[in-house]
Amino acid sequence: MTRDIAVVAFAQTDVLRTTDELSEVEMLMPVLHSVLDRTGLKTADIGFTCSGSSDYLAGRAFSFTLALDGVGAWPPIAESHVEMDGAWALYEAWTKLLTGDADTALVYSYGKSSGGSLRDVLTRQLDPYYVAPLWPDSVALAALQAQALIDAGDTDESALAAIGARSRRVATLNSHAQLRGSVPQGDYVVRPLRTGDCPPVGDGAAAVILAAGERARELCSRPAWIRGIDHRIEAHTLGVRDLTDSPSTRLAAERAGAFERPVDTAELHAPFSAQEVVLRKALRLDDSVRVNLSGGALAANPMMAAGLVRVGEAAARIHRGESDRALAHATSGPCLQQNLVAVLEGEPR
């Protein structure tokens, strides 16, 4: 069966460098209440709940189970979890709604990166035989990609600096962003990437509500209909890949229908400045498209939530009538290893 499914509500926390005073569920709960309030739904009304988070950020096994206290998981609810960014939880929820088993879904994700050293923590997602024993951190791997782009003539250090500066400048309009306004480009972290090319490390959470068909129209005056969504991955061996390109993003975008008609807005999950260069090329985005008006991941990159935030930001622009057709992208893994693309549309006004 075919059903139209839309994002009908979005909420996010302010992204902060540390949130020591809050447990994960304490950080998450205001966002859950906020997104429910926007639709008037109660937790008991939700047909399916799906979340994204990572035990490696928390340093504890099954950490997501404690967060379930925040959604009212008793009496038992239909619930699932992905050990990934919430954008992938949204994909699972979208699939669930497509089957007709549920009409509404709550999707949330969160990450408290402040508990550990994120650069070290992220090495544990790498190939454990050939790569992880060398402890190449997340900035180092992004720097290899940046140098490959510079060598290919696709960008240079000043162009990269401009991407970071633009992201933080537009983020002055985003009260949830962690870095806003002018930020020094700073010293090399791992050359050629400087502080300004790298995302801030922060804690945060996000939530969206999906609804199908007429239910979506009841819950939202202008639903952001998901016209297509797809996700693809690259070979995990970095040396097999062309780091200056992202064929998985291009394929996901094609399958999501992104190239059928132009989009007016794009929210790209590019944690490092050089990755925006790769994504713009893969997604064929020209200057007519408004890219990352939220400030993107260079202004706030809450691990496991930043991808879901991209979908939420794109949808919210449609809800507010500021966009008619938007592309949202989420990534995971080193050097844009995994990529998800969603195309969202509002009905003609």
Site residues (CB under 8 A) for another protein? 20-26, 29, 32-33, 43, 56, 59, 66, 68-75, 115-117, 119-121, 123-124, 128-137, 140-141, 143-148, 151, 188, 190-193, 235-240, 243
Q: How far apart are CA 272 and CA 146, in angstroms?
A: 9
In whole angstroms, the minimum distance from the beta carbon of 94 to another protein comes to 23
In whole angstroms, the minimum distance from the beta carbon of 301 to another protein comes to 19
Nearer to another protein, 239 or 348 (CB): 239
Nearer to another protein, 124 or 284 (CB): 124
Nearer to another protein, 45 or 214 (CB): 45
In whole angstroms, the minimum distance from the beta carbon of 103 to another protein comes to 19
In whole angstroms, the minimum distance from the beta carbon of 175 to another protein comes to 22
In whole angstroms, the minimum distance from the beta carbon of 73 to another protein comes to 6
The answer to whether residues 102 and 92 touch, using CB atoms and an 8 Å cutoff, is no
b/e map of 198-235 (b: 16 or more CB within 10 Å)?
Answer: bbbbbbbbbbbbbbbeebbeebbebbbbbbbbbbbebe
Nearer to another protein, 25 or 98 (CB): 25
**Residue whose pair of structure tokens reads 């979005």 in the numeric block:** 10
For residue 333, give the amino acid letter.
Answer: G
Residue 286 host element (H or E): none
The answer to whether residues 226 and 208 touch, using CB atoms and an 8 Å cutoff, is no
Nearer to another protein, 258 or 303 (CB): 303
**Residue whose pair of structure tokens reads 């990352």 in the numeric block:** 292
Q: Is the dihedral of CA 86, 93, 325, 249 positive or negative?
A: positive
Closest CA to 196 of 155, 177, 168, 174: 168
